[in-house]
Amino acid sequence: MVTDSNPVFARRLSKNIDAPAGRIDILQDVNFELAAGEAVAILGASGSGKSTLLGLLAGLDDASSGEIRLFGEDLGELDEDGRAALRAGRVGFVFQSFQLLPGMTALENVMLPLELAGESKPRPIAEAALSQVELSQRLHHYPGQLSGGEQQRVAIARAFATQPLLLFADEPTGSLDQATGRRISELIFQLRQQSDAGLLLVTHDAHLAARCDRRMLLENGRLETAV
Amino acid sequence: MIAISFALRLFRRDWRNSELRLLAISLMLSVTAVTAVGFFTDRVGQAMELQAGESLAADLVLSSHDPIPDSYREKAHALDLKTAEVLGFPSAVLHGDRTQLVMVKAVSPGYPLRGELRIRAAAGGAERIAQKIPQAGEIWADPRLLAALDLTTGGRLSLGEREFLLSGVISRDTGEASNMFRLGPSVLLALTDIPSTGLVTPASRVHHRLLIAGDQAEIAAYRSWIETHLDENIRLSDMSNARPALRNALDRGSRFLGLAALVTVLIASAAVALSSRRFVERQADASAILRCLGASRALLLKVLLIRLLLLALTASLFGILLGFAAQFVLAALVGEWFTAELPAPGPLPLAIGAGTGLITLLGFTLPPVFRLGSVSPLRVLRRDLNVAPTASWILALCAVAAMGLLMLWQAGEFKLALLVLLGTLLTLALLLSVAWVMVAILTPLRHHSNAIWRYGLAGLARSPVMTSLQMAGFGLGIMALLLLTLVRVDLLDTWERTIPAQAPNQFLINIQPDSVAPLQQFLARRTGGGGDIYPMLRARLTAVNDRSISPESYQNKDAQRLVEREFNLSHAKSMQPDNRVVSGRWWRDDELDEPLFSVEQGLAKKLGIQLDDRLTFDLAGSRISGRVSNLRSVRWDSFRPNFFVIATPGLLRDYPTSFITSFYLQPGNEKLVSDLVRNFPEVTVIDVSALLQQIREIMARGSIAVEYVFLFTLAAGLLVLYAGIQASREHRRQESAILRTLGLKRSRLLLATAIEFMVLGLLAGALASLCASITGWVIADELFALAYRVNPWLWLAGTLGGGIGVAVAGVAATYPFAVRPPLHTLREA
Ligand SMILES: Nc1ncnc2c1ncn2[C@@H]1O[C@H](COP(=O)(O)OP(=O)(O)O)[C@@H](O)[C@H]1O
Ligand SMILES: [Mg+2]
């Protein structure tokens, strides 16, 4: 098949959890594909399993059943370290709660994925990335010294610094006010255009979803194409 | 490379974390205590080697209130021994119109024969060892005299009819330790200057001393000569007879110190354990992010390990520096233990300090750190996804291994290590199990109480793990405080009581068989007591298991000395009451004629003598042999006559024997001694009161030193209490904010918190009291052979103090959350 050469390819994906109160089926029989450079938005009510799906596709968690391929590699056949190596340098993340390392400065946070991908001169690249998000003045500030919007901009710089093939974003504007959220989504789409990265965007925000190539809705554990 | 640069970057910022600072301080405290005591005992150990005869300034001292006949000096010279004379008497010196009572000490050239005399050219000036005694017309004085008379060197002092130039300040006179008649500051001058003062007439009461020193063999020869020639008015003193008692006191002192350091390490480790848990929890987020970005598990581990190593090294470095500074205080506190100045410490304690830091940290953090390597990257999406807790048995195993290793190393002794370790484990097990039981009981109970109690008790039942940890922290902390205050005082008291006020201070040797009964009557009449009399023979050990031995057969200096000398042998039907058989068994009544020996365990260890070995002694030219039937422990500090080797009566029956006894001579009752010597001219009196004094001094100062080291324990105890309260801080911050938002009044919130901590504190306090009593008792009995009584105050103080103290500390720690607007907290979340 042609499709399994897509950066993200998932078939008959299920995820259930044995909680003390009984078994929870979060995802059932989900099929999903994302072509190179394509932007897909995933919509859904809170608790519908969007983050779970994103985590599975990014190889952050194990599926209960089904097949996932990331850049053509079967995640089920890789161990944790193998998946980490697969991600390094090729996948960027932006999260609702920023997820910067509090012990490192903005610059160091952005240098991090570059260094993990084996980049020998990470610093100028990281500086350039930070200047793209207009944070050149805040290179040596720690996350605790930055506002929420600024922290998210550092996270975006970090996500794009390695020129990834794929960007996973989980409600990137979820904990920001509207104006700041606008600016952040602007940045994401602008940078994506420059690097031509694929984008998997989980969001509530209809405006944001509208800018994607495709929209899908997660409901009752099933993924359907949305209008 | 990446690992190192990541680690360095993070380490720089690590100091911002309160739990990491706590971790570092706890580590530093352990290292400080261990290094301070290590450095100090190292120096004490070295000093012990040098101590030998220094406090007498000689190997043997003859003393009398009459001039000592020349014949004694001539005999010494004939044996190639060195001699010096000392004349002592109290007098007054005059400077301007001021007078001061002093002890005049006039010495002949060569003083001191052992030890050293140090002087300064001026008060506060540089110290130097005096190569000669003061020149004619010159005098040296104690700094106290200079202070009393407002005098400086170069000034003039009148003594009797003569004026002297003050040319030196005595900074240390090792021979003074044996001087029990110190009425005031002393002055030192040449013996030849005494006649010109006109102070000494035949009628004046002066103290004459003849100091004798030389090689062991000649000293021994002189001693045997003098035992038959000693004039009735002359007393013989010699330190070596009673050396074991001195060593014993020093050993105990060092053990107390070592123990205090050990307890400090243990309790600080509890703080390390509590804070490392929080450190690891906090690292989970960072680890998940790094994994998400593609870091491998190995890289994560490396980064964490490097940071921990850096932390251990930094904390150890500061700990060692502090410890080095602290041991100076320790040395100053016990300064007078030794007549000589303490030698500089060796480098070993450095390694011990650094090792302690490393082992403590790794022992408590390695298992959770390894779990961190496998933290799920999914945590970036779901905050509540916690690191799987390390199996508690792995944690326990690692911690116990680390502690065991440390203790074995520190105590240098298996038994001590095992005892302390077992004690701590039992304490911990007890604290943890009681915490679990309490949580189980409280869970149903809290539905039947009012809101405040319910919230307070719910705080305990909410998280069994947290409650157990806090209970353990509080319990250990309170136990440290109890050990510090009550148990320590009791133990040290017991120690000081081991030498009763009326411990024998005079030994009578060379008692002939027909004098035994009359002498006992004499002592009973004049002292109201008089101890037991024991036979004593002098013999030289010549062979072990028919292999002949000589000093060269041994590496150890002590062992060489022991073999060189003659032993005091005794024979007995039954064992002395203060001795204890440690292996083998004492002879039965039907074995009294068999050739058997009982050997003191310390001697046996030094000379490598085992149970059932065959010993051969040379006894005045004839050889006797026998089998070692038991090894014995001896309480040397009982100051009763005791023997390294005791034989069955049958083995020694046919050899000429003299006897030995000891008694307590009241100060001021010196006439008794001259009467005794007149009635029993052959008896030699050995005065050990100076030595007793020195041992009492060691105990008194040793106690102060131990108290000082216990200050570290106190700090560790407070630290672990603090760590316990900090452990639930995060929880509490959130909860307080929510409860306040929901309308709970500040005062009621604090009350609920107080209830929660009070219940914890009361229980932990009661358990800690129990454990502290048991610890005190076991330590006293097993390690120091002391009889310890449990103090009832300890229970009261432990339980009530624990409850109130923990409640107050807990409320104080929570107070900021109760008073700040809840919105602040909620916004930060
Ligand atoms: N490890 C887990 N344990 C229990 N429930 C879980 C776990 N992971 C996810 N869930 C549940 O699965 C559902 C989907 O969660 P999530 O993917 O975070 O939803 P969304 O991101 O769409 O809001 C929720 O009901 C959540 O409670
Ligand atoms: Mg979500």
Is residue A210's pLDDT more than 80? yes
Is residue A11's pLDDT more than 90? yes
Confidence (pLDDT) at B180: 31
Beta carbons of B417 and B410 less than 8 angstroms apart: yes
Q: How far is CA A21 from the centre of its chain?
A: 31
- Of the residues B663, B697, B720, which one is the last residue of a structural domain? B663
Confidence (pLDDT) at B23: 84
Confidence (pLDDT) at B241: 46
Q: What is the pLDDT of residues B351-370, one digit of tens each?
A: 878 888 888 888 878 877 77
Structure tokens that stand for B478 in this block: 């309170």
The partner residues of B119 in beta bridges, in order of sequence, read B128, B170
What single string gives the DSSP state of each residue in B536-599? Answer: EEEEEEEEETTEE--GGG-SSHHHHHHHHSPEEEEE-SS--TTEEEEEE-PPPGGGTTS-EEEE
Would you call A73 an interface residue with chain B, using a CB distance cutoff of 8 Å? no
**Ligand that comes closest to the CA of residue A47:** 1
Test site for ligand 1: of B376, B381, B382, B383, most ligand atoms within 8 A of the Cβ: B382
Single out the residue of B360, B369, B368 nearest to residue B269, CA to CA: B360
Read off the pLDDT band of B739 (50, 70, 90): low
**Structurally, how many domains does chain A consist of?**
1
Q: How far is CA B390 from the centre of its chain?
A: 39
Instruction: State the SS3 of B117-131.
Output: EEEECCCCCCEEECC
- Of the residues B237, B259, B290, which one is the last residue of a structural domain? B237
Is residue B820's pLDDT more than 80? no
What is the rounded distance in angstroms from the CA atom of residue A22 to the CA atom of residue B574? Answer: 78
Confidence (pLDDT) at B503: 80
In a domain, B674, yes or no: no
Read off the pLDDT band of B259 (50, 70, 90): confident
Read off the pLDDT band of A145 (50, 70, 90): confident
Read off the pLDDT band of A35 (50, 70, 90): very high
- The minimal CB distance from B293 to the residues A52, A55, A113 is found for A113
Q: How high is the ipTM of this complex?
A: 0.84
What single string gives the DSSP state of each residue in A135-174? Answer: -GGGTT--GGGS-HHHHHHHHHHHHHHT--SEEEEESTTT
**Ligand that comes closest to the CA of residue B378:** 1
Which of the two residues, B299 and B497, has the higher pLDDT score? B299
Confidence (pLDDT) at B137: 92
Single out the residue of B235, B190, B213 nearest to residue B77, CA to CA: B213
Is residue B319's pLDDT more than 80? yes
Contact B378 A142 (CB under 8 A): no
Is residue B208's pLDDT more than 60? yes
CA of A222 to the centre of ligand 1 (A): 14
Domain residue limits at A170: 39-59+79-225
Contact B294 A100 (CB under 8 A): no
CA of A21 to the centre of ligand 1 (A): 14
Confidence (pLDDT) at B44: 67
Contact B381 A117 (CB under 8 A): no
Beta carbons of A36 and A7 less than 8 angstroms apart: yes
In a domain, B659, yes or no: yes
What is the rounded distance in angstroms from the CA atom of residue B683 to the CA atom of residue B748? Answer: 82
In a domain, B638, yes or no: yes
**Ligand that comes closest to the CA of residue A55:** 1
Q: What is the pLDDT of residues B176-199, one digit of tens each?
A: 544 433 445 789 999 999 999 888
Give the helix ranges, DSSP H, for B1-137: 2-14, 18-51, 70-78
In a domain, A12, yes or no: no
In a domain, A167, yes or no: yes
Contact B382 A51 (CB under 8 A): yes
Burial class of residue A92, CB neighbours in 10 A (0-12, 13-18, 19+): buried
Confidence (pLDDT) at B525: 87
Contact B2 A115 (CB under 8 A): yes
What single string gives the DSSP state of each residue in B596-608? Answer: EEEEEHHHHHHHT
In ligand 1, which atom is closest to the CA atom of A171?
21
Chain B's closest residue to A47, CA to CA, is: B382
> How many other β-carbons are positioned within 10 Å of the β-carbon of residue B745?
12
In chain A, positions 77-106, which contact chain B (CB-CB < 8 Å)? Answer: 80-81, 84-89, 91, 93, 95, 97, 99-104
- Classify strands B684-687 and A91-95 as parallel, antiparallel or unpaired: unpaired
What is the rounded distance in angstroms from the CA atom of residue B255 to the CA atom of residue B386? Answer: 45
- Range in A180-184, B188-192, B227-231, B541-545 the model is least confident about: B227-231
Would you call B286 an interface residue with chain A, using a CB distance cutoff of 8 Å? yes
Chain B's closest residue to A114, CA to CA, is: B293
Confidence (pLDDT) at B445: 67
Contact A101 B289 (CB under 8 A): yes
Confidence (pLDDT) at A178: 87
Same domain, B113 and B38: no
Mean pLDDT along residues B16-41: 81
Is residue B446's pLDDT more than 70? no
In ligand 1, which atom is closest to the CA atom of A44?
22
* Test the B interface: residue of A27, A46, A48, A61 with most B CBs within 10 Å: A61
What is the Rg, in whole angstroms, of the alpha carbon atoms belonging to chain B?
33
What is the rounded distance in angstroms from the CA atom of residue B700 to the CA atom of residue A119? Answer: 67
Test site for ligand 1: of A52, A53, A175, A202, most ligand atoms within 8 A of the Cβ: A52
Contact B294 A117 (CB under 8 A): yes
Mean pLDDT along residues B605-631: 90
Backbone angles phi, psi at B150, to 5 degrees: 60, 50
What is the rounded distance in angstroms from the CA atom of residue A142 to the CA atom of residue A107? Answer: 9
- Range in A100-114, B75-89, B412-426 the model is least confident about: B412-426
What is the rounded distance in angstroms from the CA atom of residue B345 to the CA atom of residue B127? Answer: 20
Mean pLDDT along residues A209-222: 92
Size of interface A-B (CB pairs under 8 A): 86
Same domain, B606 and B697: no
Would you call B377 an interface residue with chain A, using a CB distance cutoff of 8 Å? yes
Mean pLDDT along residues B427-449: 76
**Ligand that comes closest to the CA of residue A220:** 1
Would you call B380 an interface residue with chain A, using a CB distance cutoff of 8 Å? yes
What is the rounded distance in angstroms from the CA atom of residue B717 to the CA atom of residue B473? Answer: 9
B55 CB-near residues (< 8 Å, 6+ apart) = B115, B174, B175, B177, B178, B239, B339, B690, B694
> How many other β-carbons are positioned within 10 Å of the β-carbon of residue A225?
8
What is the rounded distance in angstroms from the CA atom of residue B479 to the CA atom of residue B431? Answer: 11
Residues of A in contact with B382 (CB under 8 A): 51
* Test the B interface: residue of A73, A81, A107 with most B CBs within 10 Å: A81
In a domain, A5, yes or no: no
Q: What's the mean per-residue pLDDT of chain B?
A: 78
Q: Chain A: nearest CA to B383, how far in angstroms?
A: 10
Read off the pLDDT band of B46 (50, 70, 90): low
In a domain, A84, yes or no: yes
In a domain, B269, yes or no: yes
- Of the residues B597, B630, B663, which one is the last residue of a structural domain? B663
Minimum CA distance residue for ligand 1 atom 27: A47
Residues of B in contact with A117 (CB under 8 A): 294
Confidence (pLDDT) at B183: 46
Q: Give, for B164, the enclosing helix (H) or strand (E).
A: strand B162-173
Same domain, B692 and B770: yes
Single out the residue of B255, B262, B243, B257 nearest to residue B602, CA to CA: B243
Same domain, B212 and B77: yes
Asked if residue B641 has a cis previous peptide bond (ω within 30° of 0), the answer is no
What is the rounded distance in angstroms from the CA atom of residue B215 to the CA atom of residue B218? Answer: 5
Beta carbons of B658 and B486 less than 8 angstroms apart: no
In a domain, B680, yes or no: no
Same domain, B449 and B400: no
Confidence (pLDDT) at B491: 67
In a domain, A19, yes or no: no
Q: Chain A: nearest CA to B1, how far in angstroms?
A: 10
Is residue A182's pLDDT more than 80? yes
Burial class of residue A98, CB neighbours in 10 A (0-12, 13-18, 19+): buried
CA of A170 to the centre of ligand 2 (A): 7
Structure tokens that stand for B583 in this block: 């292996």
Same domain, B536 and B658: yes
Confidence (pLDDT) at B576: 86
Read off the pLDDT band of B217 (50, 70, 90): confident
Q: What is the pLDDT of residues B622-677, one digit of tens each?
A: 889 999 999 998 877 677 788 889 999 998 888 888 888 888 888 767 678 767 87
- The minimal CB distance from B381 to the residues A101, A142, A170 is found for A170
Confidence (pLDDT) at B55: 58
Give the helix ranges, DSSP H, for B374-413: 392-411
What is the rounded distance in angstroms from the CA atom of residue B391 to the CA atom of residue B402? Answer: 17
Query: What are the distances in angstroms from CA B746 to CA B640, B732, B737, B820, B829?
Result: 68, 14, 10, 10, 21
In a domain, A4, yes or no: no
Same domain, B107 and B180: yes
Is residue B406's pLDDT more than 80? no
Single out the residue of B354, B359, B402, B375 nearest to residue B280, CA to CA: B375
Confidence (pLDDT) at A69: 94
Minimum CA distance residue for ligand 1 atom 16: A49
Give the binding-site residues of ligand 1, using a 6 Å CB cut-off: A 17, 19, 24, 26, 44, 46-52; B 382
Which of the two residues, B598 and B688, has the higher pLDDT score? B598
Confidence (pLDDT) at B242: 45
Confidence (pLDDT) at B785: 65
Q: Chain A: nearest CA to B47, how far in angstroms?
A: 50
Mean pLDDT along residues B706-734: 75
Q: Chain B: nearest CA to A186, how far in angstroms?
A: 23
Structure tokens that stand for A14 in this block: 């299920």
Same domain, B549 and B616: yes
Same domain, B560 and B628: yes
Please report, for the domain that includes residue A169, its CATH number: 3.40.50.300
Mean pLDDT along residues B395-399: 69
Structure tokens that stand for A132 in this block: 């793209």
Would you call B827 an interface residue with chain A, using a CB distance cutoff of 8 Å? no
**Ligand that comes closest to the CA of residue A217:** 1
Domain residue limits at B331: 1-54+248-412
Contact B293 A112 (CB under 8 A): yes
In a domain, A32, yes or no: no
Beta carbons of B115 and B54 less than 8 angstroms apart: yes
Residue type, B771: C
Same domain, B46 and B72: no
Name the range with the highest mean pLDDT among B384-398, B508-522, B545-559.
B508-522
Mean pLDDT along residues B757-761: 87
Read off the pLDDT band of B339 (50, 70, 90): very low
- Range in B173-187, B206-220, B330-344, B412-426 the model is least confident about: B173-187
Mean pLDDT along residues B331-337: 66
**Structurally, how many domains does chain B consist of?**
4
Residue with tokens 């202070």: B147
Mean pLDDT along residues B38-51: 64
Confidence (pLDDT) at B557: 65
Burial pattern B174-183, b for ≥16 Cβ within 10 A else e, equals bbbbbbeeee
Mean pLDDT along residues B202-222: 82
What is the rounded distance in angstroms from the CA atom of residue B525 to the CA atom of residue B371? Answer: 79
In a domain, B676, yes or no: no
User: Does residue B54 sit in helix, strand or coil?
Assistant: helix
Residue type, A105: T
Same domain, B541 and B647: yes
Single out the residue of B713, B644, B708 nearest to residue B480, CA to CA: B713
Same domain, B385 and B291: yes
What is the rounded distance in angstroms from the CA atom of residue B34 to the CA atom of residue B257? Answer: 10
Q: How far is CA B598 from the centre of its chain?
A: 30
Confidence (pLDDT) at A141: 92
Report the percentage of chain B scoring pLDDT > 90: 11
Q: Chain A: nearest CA to B285, how far in angstroms?
A: 8
Q: Chain A: nearest CA to B465, how far in angstroms?
A: 19
Read off the pLDDT band of B85 (50, 70, 90): very high
Residues of A in contact with B5 (CB under 8 A): 115
Confidence (pLDDT) at A143: 87
In a domain, B425, yes or no: no
In a domain, B544, yes or no: yes
Q: What is the model's pTM?
A: 0.62
CA of A47 to the centre of ligand 1 (A): 6
In a domain, A164, yes or no: yes
In ligand 1, which atom is closest to the CA atom of B381?
18
